[in-house]
Chains A and B, each alone.
Chain A
């Protein structure tokens, strides 16, 4: 069954603006990961946040996790045209290495 759901489905912003994407999930998790998919390519891992962490940073990326609400958010600051892609959250259930993805957020950054 589908585990992660991203919101919004599509997001269009101007270059330099911040982009925020949200992910909700249904059951307990071991960790939550965010991936990027450029058109016609495979998914690329961006960042992982463990279930006992609340916030994590990597360059222009900031991820938060609220296990009580079963939700996570991905913030991309100072967006660039090259950030145009689909972004997916994936939940790793406590069963270990069983990743469930949603349908992604399609981000368009307008130069």
Chain B
């Protein structure tokens, strides 16, 4: 049973294209996140949704648009991909309570050529 699953695992695309990454969690959590991990392994929070509402929106280009159709799903759409978007993108979920840990998916490695 995969608790947080994201697809695809690998995504190779050319500059200028638009792509989406999907995430689903079956843990019954009310909050979902997108994190970006760069080549130096620095993990940066991008967005957070609680019960389908955006609660965290860090300084991210507006080419990135998250969408949460329901509280078990959080997708990430990226327009006009740039070389600097190459990274591993992680979806995570948790309960919006203090002291609740994050549960991560296995990541989507995006390579923009």
A→B interface (CB under 8 Å): 2, 30-31, 33, 35, 37, 40-45, 48, 50, 86, 88, 90, 92, 96-104, 106
Contacts and interface: CB of A to CB of B under 8 A. Distances in A.
Contact of B99 (A30, A35, A44): A30
Contacts of B4: 42
B41 to A, nearest CB: 5
Contacts of A48: 99, 101
Contacts of A97: 31, 48, 94, 96-98, 100
Interface residues of B, number: 27
B101 A98 contact: no
Contact of B90 (A2, A33, A43, A103): A43
Question: Across chains A and B, which 6 residue pairs bring their CB atoms closest together, nearest first?
Answer: A42-B104, A45-B101, A101-B43, A103-B42, A43-B104, A42-B106
Interface string B36-78: 0000111111001000000010000000000000000000000
Interface string B70-113: 00000000000000000000101010111111111111000000
B90 A99 contact: no
